[in-house]
């Protein structure tokens, strides 16, 4: 017996209505602000993670309205501390009857919106639209594959991030090390990290570490190591967990050994890593392009990037974001125009930025991304960002099942125990696998 | 410090210290001083961060301090990055309105529970206390739907109205009212004062400390509340300060530490003012309010 | 003054024994006046507390993820509680942390509040009071910022200072043994000012004459505390026990920003757990079922506290 969403929502609110009537207040009309009646209106929901998100979306909307004078674009910023709370708040909005035309999602959310039947795939537009071919040809195939679920293309990607290693160039110089090259191996990496580890106050414990990774996210955390060991956290169809394989064991053991041998500190969240990288307490860490939006305005430029070291294989781990068209849209054709607009030259240039005000992700259009080094936005090795997805094998699909939030927190919870040495790597992964079997399903 | 000076009516209760009590007094001050330092020390780091020109310096061990790195730039960054004063105003409106409304609703209800006789009082009070038990994290979705039905989402009403009923406040004041001597009310009753007059003229003037305490606690709580604005409000112009701090922290909380610290420091100031003003009433003892026993 | 009275939950008319021995017993209650005094609260309660609570109750019988159609599942969500392998562990860690925080608040809070009553210059008293309340005025983001730096294992200030004293590095946030301890420390740090403030309000209401009379009678500080302060403060103490129990069982922000509930579930609280079910899994029905049963546990705890309070709480 299925009860429509609206009826459940109604049941929840019914006592309120009764109480309102009792108090003699005029009941507010239903606020479902779907753009239904006006054919030339679009409502866009985006994650308002900070001033950059708001100004970026405003200028996109303004530019779109300037080129489409008859269209009214309404922006609905949704605040959230991370993608997870953003999705939760959007879901709450939708439950209350809001019907946006487009909403920003990250690659991790592709399976989620698809399995909840929220989005209108763009396959037919990609076939029919004359301009689409030129756009997709300028976008790395990995970025389209990353947003393809069971053959349905969820959205074009406007910006994305690949996972690369950031290294502190001053720390390398001080330790007398050459900058790493793209073909370094796990052994090279470990030897380098070890040389960057130091006990400067001679208390018998290191206070400067070679490497660390984010404890609160899996993409800039363990994923590159898992991918380069030849593994993944889920099966190719993202329908089953594969975390107790030899490959995942190998990757987690490698990281665990770094902690055990005192080359890496106890893992900490991404934001703490940033500060400690800038002050030299940590010489290397992994992330996408977003750290430069923190480093450059703070005046910190003594860093460069390199690919993750090669294990048994090399695969670039990446994630993107886009504006999928929602099924609830009254104007899918217009929404498609908007989505296309978000990857136009005009908008994509925002993600390049300037040396003082850098973009915080990589433009998805190759021709635009290539201008990063021409504009002179650090780091020196910036061409690597797009090359990593164009010229190297990539990890597709994302290990991002429909219940991504639960999936990620479950993985992190077990990793916490492993890295705190409260369980062995194989045991920890085994219990993780058994718990994930109920979460990663199709 | 003079603003902290409490009302002169407060009389110390400890007898003049005799020689034997000296050790006890030293110990007392030692305990208080250690506790005060332990509790406030972490804030020095926030204030230092607010004036620090270098995030990297903040995490250095041993802690270093370079006076030449001090700057006011972070405060400028706060106002440049987010509409800080708008948030500030919204927070004042929300916390101020909720606090004033709570003082009215809680004190009247508490009086009824403490002093009036009526059918179903026990049950009603049990329901009041019971409403504290369901965590807001699970009622937030139905509450949002209610607000949405009332057409109040994305308005400050969605932050104010849910805060006005306070089981905590009713309970706090009821406990206090019940501890007040009955004799006074009897005297008022003999004078022919009605229930409301008794409440307004006898009970309230005696309740300065607990009403001021409720005021401080209520204001502080709503000043810092993050869950409601995060869910209820989407327009940036209607957000409150805690959301402002989230926005300053930025994506994956990777914003500048100095800027966030400056935002936090600026957000503390009004609460301190409320506290300093209200604490005059906290120390207003019964002895000083003319009560004779 | 020694008439003890309290609430007997759910038992009609005279449940809250109305003391006031000098009052001539009146036949009729104060129904009309009570209604007038209670109306503002009742309206707010109905719309913004009761309605959402009924909503939670409704949701607990549904399988609903906010986005697609809901399914009526009867008592399935409650049945799932018994098969949830993590739930008991989370209840355990919640209880452990809550009881410790409760004890710190009620006992240490009382100690500091009483010490604040000793003779000292008013500006000093004001300074201490303000110091104790300071942490209470900051938001969760400040808590995260400060304590993640202080408690970091390898690069944090606390371990650095302990290291100078020769203590080995403690994994404050990353080990099952210390993560809950850290949550207890941080939450107590944040809430103790609240308890102290409420104690102060209670202490201020105790007529000074009583204590001064006791001094004249030659009673020592210890005797005065147990004979006069403690009994007269008992409504306040009782209030703080009840409120701190509820608050400390409902901790959410500190584990979320400091330990993410881990490692494992060692520092996870029920509220954090149900939040993840609701907004991580989008399993609103199950989260509601957890919320309702958790509320019932708290109701039971509170009822017990009210029952016990009759033995030691004194109202005038």
Q: What is the 3-state secondary structure (H, E, C) of A171-224?
A: HHHHCCCCCCCCCCEHHHHHHHHHHHCECCCCCCCCCEEEEECECCCCCCCCHH
Residue C210, in any domain of the structure: yes
Interface touch B56/A279, C-beta < 8 Å: yes
Distance from CA of A116 to the nearest CA of C (A): 7
Residue of A nearest to B245 (CA): A50
Give the DSSP letter of residue C46. I
Q: Cα–Cα distance between C145 and C193 in angstroms, integer? A: 20
B52 to chain C, any CB pair closer than 8 A? The answer is no
For C:71-130, CB contacts with B below 8 A are 111-112, 115-120, 122-123, 125-130
Q: What is the mean pLDDT of residues B195-201?
A: 87
Residue C268, in any domain of the structure: yes
Sort C128 into a burial class: Cβ within 10 Å, 0-12 / 13-18 / 19+. buried
A199 to chain B, any CB pair closer than 8 A? The answer is no
Q: How does the average pLDDT of chain C come out, rounded?
A: 86
In this structure, the strands spanning A148-149 and A209-212 are unpaired
Interface touch B45/C48, C-beta < 8 Å: no
Residue of C nearest to A270 (CA): C148
Interface touch C59/A8, C-beta < 8 Å: yes
Distance from CA of B161 to the nearest CA of C (A): 7
Percentage of chain A with pLDDT > 70?
A: 91
Distance from CA of B89 to the nearest CA of C (A): 17
pLDDT tens digits, residue range A87-116?
A: 989 999 998 888 899 999 999 899 999 998
pLDDT of A32 > 50? The answer is no
Interface touch B132/C246, C-beta < 8 Å: yes
Residue C78 has a CB neighbour count (10 Å cut-off) of: 18
Distance from CA of B165 to the nearest CA of A (A): 15
- The dihedral through the CA atoms of C13, C19, C20, C24 has a sign that is positive
Output the six-digit token pair for B288.
Answer: 């000083």
Q: Which CATH number fits domain A164-315+403-436: 3.40.190.10, 3.90.226.10, 3.30.430.20, 1.10.287.70?
A: 3.40.190.10
For B:142-171, CB contacts with C below 8 A are 142-143, 145-146, 161-162, 164-165, 168, 170-171
Interface touch A7/C70, C-beta < 8 Å: yes
pLDDT of B10 > 50? The answer is no
Q: What is the mean pLDDT of residues B260-273?
A: 88
Reported confidence tier of residue A421, pLDDT bands at 50, 70, 90:
very high
Percentage of chain B with pLDDT > 70?
A: 89
Residue of B nearest to A280 (CA): B56
Q: Residue B19's pLDDT is what?
A: 59
Residues of A in contact with C69 (CB under 8 A): 2-5, 8
Interface touch A278/B239, C-beta < 8 Å: no
Domains of chain A, residue spans: 33-162+320-374, 164-315+403-436
The count of structural domains within chain C is: 1
pLDDT-wise least confident of B35-49, B81-95, C82-96: B35-49
Q: Cα–Cα distance between C42 and B120 in angstroms, integer? A: 14
Segment A59-66 long-range contacts (CB within 8 Å, at least 24 positions apart) = A59/A350, A60/A341, A60/A342, A60/A347, A60/A350, A63/A341, A63/A346, A63/A347, A64/A338, A64/A341
Interface touch A50/B149, C-beta < 8 Å: no
Interface touch C279/A267, C-beta < 8 Å: no
Strands (E), chain B: none
The three-point CA angle C93-C245-B120 to 5° equals: 135
pTM for the model: 0.89
B65 to chain C, any CB pair closer than 8 A? The answer is no
C282 to chain B, any CB pair closer than 8 A? The answer is no
Interface touch B272/C137, C-beta < 8 Å: yes
Do C255 and C273 meet the contact criterion of CB atoms below 8 Å apart?
no
Reported confidence tier of residue B284, pLDDT bands at 50, 70, 90:
low
Residue C165, in any domain of the structure: yes
Do A409 and A330 meet the contact criterion of CB atoms below 8 Å apart?
no
Q: Residue A8's pLDDT is what?
A: 59
Provide DSSP, B194-246: -HHHHIIIIIHHHTHHHHHHHHHHHHHHHHH--HHHHHH--SGGG--HHHHHH
Interface touch B286/C204, C-beta < 8 Å: yes
Q: What is the mean pLDDT of residues B52-61?
A: 84
Residue C229, in any domain of the structure: yes
C174 to chain B, any CB pair closer than 8 A? The answer is no
Q: What is the mean pLDDT of residues B222-226?
A: 92
Sort C245 into a burial class: Cβ within 10 Å, 0-12 / 13-18 / 19+. buried
Q: Cα–Cα distance between B233 and B240 in angstroms, integer? A: 9
A184 to chain B, any CB pair closer than 8 A? The answer is no
Residue of A nearest to B258 (CA): A298
pLDDT of B251 > 90? The answer is no
A207 to chain C, any CB pair closer than 8 A? The answer is yes
Q: What is the mean pLDDT of residues B248-259?
A: 84
B56 to chain C, any CB pair closer than 8 A? The answer is no
The beta-carbon neighbor of A88 closest among C50, C175, C279 is: C279
What is the topology classification, in CATH, of domain A33-162+320-374? D-Maltodextrin-Binding Protein; domain 2 (3.40.190)
pLDDT of B193 > 80? The answer is no
pLDDT tens digits, residue range B99-135?
A: 999 999 999 999 999 989 999 999 999 999 999 999 9
A79 to chain B, any CB pair closer than 8 A? The answer is yes
For residue A74, give Cα distances in angstroms to A28, A34, A55, A395, C300.
21, 11, 14, 36, 49
Question: For chain A, how many residues are written?
Answer: 442
Interface A:C, Cβ pairs < 8 A: 143
Distance from CA of A174 to the nearest CA of C (A): 20
Residue C280, in any domain of the structure: yes
Q: Cα–Cα distance between B275 and B279 in angstroms, integer? A: 6
Q: How does the average pLDDT of chain A come out, rounded?
A: 90
pLDDT tens digits, residue range A286-318?
A: 999 999 999 998 889 999 999 999 999 999 999
Do A34 and A98 meet the contact criterion of CB atoms below 8 Å apart?
yes
pLDDT tens digits, residue range C91-145?
A: 999 999 999 999 999 999 999 999 998 888 888 888 898 899 888 888 877 888 8
Q: Cα–Cα distance between C234 and C240 in angstroms, integer? A: 10
Q: Residue A33's pLDDT is what?
A: 41
Strand pairing partners for A305? A166
Q: Select the residue from C29, C205, C244 to test the B interface by mutation, using most B Cβ atoms within 10 A.
A: C205
Residue of C nearest to A203 (CA): C163
Residue of C nearest to A418 (CA): C263
- The dihedral through the CA atoms of C162, C166, C172, C177 has a sign that is negative
pLDDT of A327 > 90? The answer is yes
Residues of B in contact with A275 (CB under 8 A): 55-56, 58-59, 257
Reported confidence tier of residue A28, pLDDT bands at 50, 70, 90:
very low
Residue with the two structure tokens 């804030």 = B43
pLDDT tens digits, residue range C246-266?
A: 999 999 999 988 999 989 999
Q: Residue C259's pLDDT is what?
A: 92
Helix (H) or strand (E) run with residue C22 in it: none
pLDDT of C23 > 70? The answer is no
Residue C65, in any domain of the structure: no
Residues of C in contact with B286 (CB under 8 A): 204-208
Interface touch A266/C154, C-beta < 8 Å: yes
Q: Cα–Cα distance between A314 and A156 in angstroms, integer? A: 26
Q: Residue A2's pLDDT is what?
A: 56
Reported confidence tier of residue A11, pLDDT bands at 50, 70, 90:
low
| Residue of B96, B56, B126 lying closest to B221 (CA atoms) | B96
For residue A67, give Cα distances in angstroms to A62, A72, A159, C304.
9, 11, 22, 68
Interface touch A5/C175, C-beta < 8 Å: no
Q: Which chains touch A (3 or more CB pairs under 8 A)?
A: B, C
Residue C108, in any domain of the structure: yes
Residues of A in contact with B248 (CB under 8 A): 50
pLDDT of A14 > 60? The answer is no
Residues of C in contact with B17 (CB under 8 A): 119
Q: How does the average pLDDT of chain B come out, rounded?
A: 84
pLDDT of A19 > 50? The answer is no
pLDDT tens digits, residue range A177-196?
A: 999 999 999 999 999 999 99
Residues of A in contact with B230 (CB under 8 A): 79-81, 85, 89
Highest mean pLDDT: which range of A328-332, B179-183, C204-208: A328-332
Interface touch A291/B254, C-beta < 8 Å: yes
Read off the CATH number of the domain in which C233 is found: 1.10.3720.10
Q: Which CATH number fits domain B95-246+273-286: 3.30.365.10, 3.30.70.3040, 3.40.50.970, 1.10.3720.10?
A: 1.10.3720.10
Reported confidence tier of residue C299, pLDDT bands at 50, 70, 90:
very high
Interface touch A3/C71, C-beta < 8 Å: yes
């Amino acid at each position: 017996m299925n009860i429509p969403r609206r009826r459940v929502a109604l049941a929840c609110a019914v006592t309120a209505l009764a109480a309102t009537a009792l108090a003699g207040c005029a009941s507010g009309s239903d606020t479902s602000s779907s753009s239904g009646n006006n054919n030339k209106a679009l409502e866009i929901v985006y994650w308002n993670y900070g001033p950059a998100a708001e100004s970026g979306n405003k200028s996109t909307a303004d530019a779109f309205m300037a080129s489409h004078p008859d269209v009214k674009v309404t922006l609905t910023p949704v605040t959230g501390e991370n993608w997870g709370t953003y999705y939760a708040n959007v879901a709450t909005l939708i439950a209350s009857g809001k019907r946006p035309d487009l909403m920003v999602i990250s690659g991790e959310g592709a399976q989620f919106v698809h399995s909840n039947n929220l989005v209108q795939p763009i396959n037919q537009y990609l076939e029919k639209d004359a301009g689409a071919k030129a756009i997709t040809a300028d976008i790395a195939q990995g970025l389209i594959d990353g947003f393809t679920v069971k053959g349905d293309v969820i959205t074009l990607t406007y910006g994305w991030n690949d996972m690369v290693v950031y290294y502190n160039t001053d720390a390398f110089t001080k330790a007398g090390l050459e900058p790493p090259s793209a073909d370094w191996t796990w052994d090279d990496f470990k030897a380098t990290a070890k040389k960057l580890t130091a006990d400067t106050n001679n208390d018998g414990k290191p206070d400067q570490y070679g490497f660390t990774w984010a404890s609160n996210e899996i993409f800039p955390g363990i994923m590159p190591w898992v991918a380069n060991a030849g593994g993944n956290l889920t099966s190719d169809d993202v329908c089953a967990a594969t975390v107790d394989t030899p490959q995942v064991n190998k990757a987690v053991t490698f990281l665990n050994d770094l902690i055990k041998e005192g080359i890496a500190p106890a893992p900490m969240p991404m934001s703490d890593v940033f500060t400690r990288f800038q002050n030299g307490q940590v010489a290397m860490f992994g992330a996408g392009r977003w750290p430069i939006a923190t480093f450059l305005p703070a005046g910190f430029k003594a860093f460069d990037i390199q690919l993750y070291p090669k294990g048994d294989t090399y695969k670039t781990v990446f994630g993107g974001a886009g504006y999928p068209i929602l099924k609830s849209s009254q104007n899918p054709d217009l929404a498609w125009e908007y989505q296309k607009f978000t990857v136009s030259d005009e908008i994509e240039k925002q993600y390049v930025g300037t040396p003082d005000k850098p973009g915080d992700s990589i433009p998805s259009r190759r021709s635009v991304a290539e201008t990063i080094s021409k504009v002179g936005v650090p780091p020196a090795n910036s061409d690597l960002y797009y090359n990593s997805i164009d010229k190297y094998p990539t990890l597709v699909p994302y290990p991002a099942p429909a219940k991504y939030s639960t999936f990620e927190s479950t993985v992190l919870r077990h990793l916490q125990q492993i890295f705190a040495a409260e369980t062995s790597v194989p045991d920890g992964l085994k219990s993780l696998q058994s718990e994930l079997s109920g979460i990663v399903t199709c | 410090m003079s603003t902290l000076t409490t009302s002169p009516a407060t009389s110390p209760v400890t007898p003049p210290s005799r020689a034997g009590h000296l050790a006890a007094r030293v110990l007392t001050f030692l305990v208080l001083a250690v506790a005060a330092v332990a509790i406030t020390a972490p804030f020095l780091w926030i204030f230092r961060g607010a004036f620090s020109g270098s995030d990297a310096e903040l995490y250095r061990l041993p802690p270093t301090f370079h006076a030449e790195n001090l700057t006011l730039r972070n405060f400028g960054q706060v106002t440049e990055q987010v509409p800080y004063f708008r948030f500030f105003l919204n927070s004042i409106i929300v916390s101020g309105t909720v606090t004033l409304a709570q003082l009215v609703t809680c004190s009247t209800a508490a009086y009824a529970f403490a002093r009036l006789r009526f059918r179903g009082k026990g049950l009603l009070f049990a329901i009041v206390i019971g409403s504290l038990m369901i965590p807001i994290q699970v009622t937030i979705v139905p509450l949002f739907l209610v607000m949405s039905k009332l057409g109040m989402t994305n308005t400050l009403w969605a932050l104010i109205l849910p805060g006005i009923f306070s089981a905590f406040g009713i309970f706090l004041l009821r406990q206090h009212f019940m501890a007040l001597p009955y004799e006074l009310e009897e005297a008022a009753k003999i004078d022919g004062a009605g229930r409301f007059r008794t409440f307004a003229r006898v009970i309230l003037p005696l309740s300065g400390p607990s009403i001021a305490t409720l005021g401080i606690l209520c204001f502080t709580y709503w000043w810092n509340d993050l869950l409601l604005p995060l869910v209820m409000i989407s327009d940036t112009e209607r957000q409150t300060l805690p959301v402002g701090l989230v926005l300053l922290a930025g994506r994956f909380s990777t914003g500048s530490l100095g800027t966030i610290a400056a935002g936090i420091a600026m957000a503390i100031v009004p609460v301190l003012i409320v506290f300093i003003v209200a604490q005059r009433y906290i120390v207003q003892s019964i002895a000083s309010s003319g009560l004779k026993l | 003054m020694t008439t003890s009275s309290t609430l007997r939950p759910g038992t009609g008319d005279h449940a809250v024994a109305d003391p006031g021995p000098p009052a001539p017993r009146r036949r009729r209650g104060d129904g009309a006046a009570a209604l007038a005094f209670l109306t503002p609260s009742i309206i707010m309660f109905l719309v913004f507390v009761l309605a959402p609570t009924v909503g939670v109750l409704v949701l607990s019988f549904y399988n609903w993820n906010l986005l697609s159609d809901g399914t009526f599942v009867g008592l399935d969500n409650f049945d799932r509680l018994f098969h949830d392998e993590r739930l008991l562990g989370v209840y355990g860690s919640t209880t452990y942390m809550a009881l410790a925080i409760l004890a710190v608040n009620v006992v240490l809070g009382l100690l500091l509040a009483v010490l604040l009553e000793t003779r000292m210059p008013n500006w000093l008293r004001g300074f201490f009071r303000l110091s104790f309340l300071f942490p209470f005025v900051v938001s969760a983001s400040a808590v995260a910022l400060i304590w993640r730096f202080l408690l970091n294992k390898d690069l944090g200030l606390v371990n650095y200072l302990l290291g100078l004293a020769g203590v080995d590095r403690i994994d404050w946030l990353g080990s099952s043994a210390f993560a809950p301890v850290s949550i207890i420390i941080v939450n107590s740090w944040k809430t103790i000012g609240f308890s102290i403030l409420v104690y102060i309000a209670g202490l201020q209401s105790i007529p000074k004459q009583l204590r001064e009379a006791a001094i004249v009678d030659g009673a020592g500080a210890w005797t005065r505390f147990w004979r006069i302060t403690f009994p007269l403060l008992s409504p306040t103490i009782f209030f703080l026990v009840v409120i701190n129990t509820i608050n400390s069982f409902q901790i959410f922000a500190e584990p979320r920003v400091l330990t993410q509930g881990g490692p494992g579930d060692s520092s996870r609280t029920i509220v954090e757990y149900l939040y993840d079910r609701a907004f991580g899994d989008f399993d609103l029905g199950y989260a509601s079922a957890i919320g309702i049963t958790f509320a019932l546990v708290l109701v039971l705890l509170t009822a017990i506290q009210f029952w016990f309070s009759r033995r030691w709480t004194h109202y005038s």
